């Protein structure tokens, strides 16, 4: 396997990057994210950061704008308000379009989509851009997400399928081992490796891909938009890589409030199920979407029964099986808006 140098030449490190951050009611976290970007953006000549405030309504957008002015970040950072809470996909698209207009004829080499609940470790941007410089077929890369204490998080995955819908919801070790080649979550590695998709919390993309294939599908409000985007790139011949030498602290779930680490999961919102259904129907068709729903429902039901019989703690979010059924293609149909 080809592994990149830790650092490229000085010329390699000067590739320009457009960073897009979407804020929704996490103003203080977004400001800390900007602080971690300051020196790294300065090291990438011509790079810019656009923060989209998704109509937070809590004053966080105005607070970010004041901090940009107070810290004299205006040369490289800009805030743009969205007209409403348009969602993560549309928010990122607005940020990209704003950044391209700001840069004019100076097209960035790469686009870095970054969650506001993140803090970049040293050289995180440079390592990802160096990797893309050195690997012409790599179109999308993501670094290692970790807790503040350095504990690594699962942040790269195989594409959703019937087999991993079953295994991921069953939570039975023997099944996980039998399906280890297909299960969605990939074991944490210290070496760069190609992968199906990486978390959209910190994802660097060649600008060429965005301008050739288009931006995120705005029919996804939140979740699955990056998976859909990376699948489109994969079908167009681009590879996706996980590069763990680039490290990002990710306070998982703080920007969405859905999947906060080290807490029992809350009930999945309807838009999560809408996005999941859209992904399967759009990319694999109605029959496969129905099979994926059946696999997920069967896995979750068997897993819940096992927990009851063994006296184990519940592993699924509240009302998960009921919500899976209610939002399945069996009850909602397969028509895409």
Q: Are 300 and 321 in contact (CB under 8 A)?
A: yes
**Share above pLDDT 70 across residues of the chain, in percent, rounded to a whole number:** 90
pLDDT tens figures, 299-329: 999 999 988 888 888 888 999 999 999 999 9
pLDDT for the residue numbered 261:
53
Instruction: State residue 265's pLDDT score.
Output: 74
pLDDT tens profile 69-98: 999 999 999 999 999 999 999 999 999 999
Query: Which burial class, exposed, middle or buried, applies to 172 when counting CB atoms under 10 A from its CB (0-12, 13-18, 19+)?
Result: middle
pLDDT band at 336 (very low <50, low <70, confident <90, very high): confident
Task: Please state the rounded mean pLDDT for residues 227-256.
Answer: 92
CA dihedral sign of residues 130, 132, 136, 141: positive
Q: In what helix (H) or strand (E) does residue 4 lie, and over which residues does it extend?
A: none
Residues 155-191 have pLDDT tens digits of 999 999 998 899 888 876 666 677 677 778 888 899 9
Tokens of 192: 């760069």
Under 8 Å between Cβ of 142 and 243: yes
pLDDT at residue 262 in the model: 57
Average pLDDT over residues 41-50: 95
Q: Confirm if 6 and 124 have CB atoms less than 8 A apart.
A: no
- On the question of pLDDT at 13 being above 90, the answer is no
Phi, psi dihedral angles at 291 (to 5 degrees) = -65, -40
H or E element at residue 81:
strand 77-81
Contact 270, 298 (CB under 8 A): no
For the chain, list the domains and their CATH numbers.
15-152+188-250 (3.90.550.60), 162-182+264-332 (no CATH)
Supply the pTM of this predicted model. Answer: 0.92
Q: Does 67 have pLDDT greater than 60?
A: yes
Structural contact between residues 255 and 29, judged by C-beta atoms closer than 8 angstroms: yes
């Amino acid at each position: 396997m080809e592994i990149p140098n830790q650092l490229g030449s000085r010329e390699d490190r000067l590739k320009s990057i457009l960073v897009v951050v979407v804020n929704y009611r996490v103003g203080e976290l977004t400001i800390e994210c900007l602080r971690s970007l300051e020196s790294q953006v300065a090291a990438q000549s011509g790079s810019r950061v656009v923060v989209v405030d998704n109509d937070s309504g809590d004053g966080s957008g105005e607070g970010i704008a004041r901090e940009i002015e107070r810290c004299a970040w205006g040369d490289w950072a800009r805030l743009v308000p969205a007209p409403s809470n348009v969602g993560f996909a549309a928010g990122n698209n607005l940020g990209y379009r704003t950044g391209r207009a700001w840069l004019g004829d100076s097209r960035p080499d790469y686009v870095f989509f970054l969650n506001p609940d993140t803090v970049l470790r040293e050289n995180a941007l440079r390592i990802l851009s160096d990797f893309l410089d050195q690997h012409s077929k790599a179109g999308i890369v993501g670094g290692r997400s970790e807790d503040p204490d350095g504990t690594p998080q699962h942040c790269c995955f195989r594409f959703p399928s019937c087999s991993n819908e079953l295994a991921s919801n069953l939570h039975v070790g023997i099944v996980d081992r039998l399906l280890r080649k297909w299960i969605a979550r990939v074991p944490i590695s210290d070496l760069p490796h190609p992968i199906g998709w990486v978390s959209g919390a910190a994802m660097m993309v060649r600008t060429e891909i965005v301008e050739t294939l288009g931006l995120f599908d705005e029919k996804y409000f939140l979740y699955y938009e990056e998976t859909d985007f990376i699948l489109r790139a994969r079908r167009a011949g681009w590879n996706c890589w996980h590069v763990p030498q680039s490290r990002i602290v990710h306070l998982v779930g703080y920007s969405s409030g859905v999947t906060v680490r080290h807490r029992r999961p809350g009930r999945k919102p309807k838009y999560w199920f809408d996005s999941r259904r859209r992904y399967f129907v759009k990319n694999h068709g109605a029959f496969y979407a129905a099979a994926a729903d059946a696999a997920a429902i069967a896995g979750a039901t068997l897993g819940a029964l096992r927990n009851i019989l063994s006296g184990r703690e519940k592993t699924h979010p509240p009302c998960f099986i009921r919500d899976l059924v209610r939002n399945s293609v069996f009850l909602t149909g397969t028509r895409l808006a």
